[in-house]
Chains A and B, each alone.
Chain A
Amino acid sequence: DAGITQSPRHKVTETGTPVTLRCHQTENHRYMYWYRQDPGHGLRLIHYSYGVKDTDKGEVSDGYSVSRSKTEDFLLTLESATSSQTSVYFCAISESWRISRSYEQYFGPGTRLTVT
């Protein structure tokens, strides 16, 4: 299994509070991603990073920010959590942006976030 950890694994927070989720990899992969997964929807890309301090928005980036100060760590921040951000959040890594049989995208174990 790829060396990806996420913390915390579970979190319950109140509306309006800031929340930071952490993704840590030991594979030295260049690309890191944050997805959210909701019932009836596929995984949707929130933000991604293509290097230290290089990040860009994905499909559903509103209400989220990210930072990557080291190759191994990618942080996702909800500045002011809302109930619509209750979801399962997955971090992923890859060696290449172009995903293929040679360059697979690996996922972390996920973080279950509940915003009450």
Chain B
Amino acid sequence: RKEVEQDPGPFNVPEGATVAFNCTYSNSASQSFFWYRQDCRKEPKLLMSVYSSGNEDGRFTAQLNRASQYISLLIRDSKLSDSATYLCVVNRDDMRFGAGTRLTVKP
């Protein structure tokens, strides 16, 4: 079993839609959590950190449930520019990456 599991998608949504991605992790000792964005054939870039209390950055909301070992990312009012692969990342002793969920936002 992979340490970080994500639904690979692809998610194809129209502009303006709300889309949610989920991620589960297996190691309960994990200490910090992140969502990264990776555009096609580019390097990953930090989108946002994820806190137990939940956090929001504009149209993006991240949630963490430590008891269920579950992380989520909600994107509201999707834009064409949101099309990318979203990587769930968990930090314990080192960074462990999910394989990513691919999102395509269509006009």
SS class, residues of chain B in contact with chain A: strand
| Chain A residue nearest in CB terms to B34 | A99
Residue of A98, A99, A101, A107 touching B44 (CB-CB under 8 A) = A107
A108 touching B4, Cβ below 8 Å: no
Q: How many contacts between A and B, using CB within 8 angstroms?
A: 47
SS class, residues of chain A in contact with chain B: loop
Interface residues on A, range: 20 to 34
Interface residues on B, range: 20 to 34
A101 touching B49, Cβ below 8 Å: yes
Q: Mark A31-46, 1 if CB is under 8 A from B, else 0.
A: 0000000001111110
Q: State whether A108 and B98 are in contact (beta carbons under 8 Å apart), knowing that A100-B32, A100-B49, A101-B49 are contacts in the complex.
A: no
Measured CB to CB, the residues of B under 8 A from A are: 2, 4, 8, 31-32, 34, 41-46, 49, 87, 89, 91, 94-100
What are 9 A-to-B residue pairs whose CB atoms are below 8 Å? A42-B4, A59-B94, A98-B32, A99-B32, A99-B95, A100-B49, A107-B43, A109-B43, A110-B41
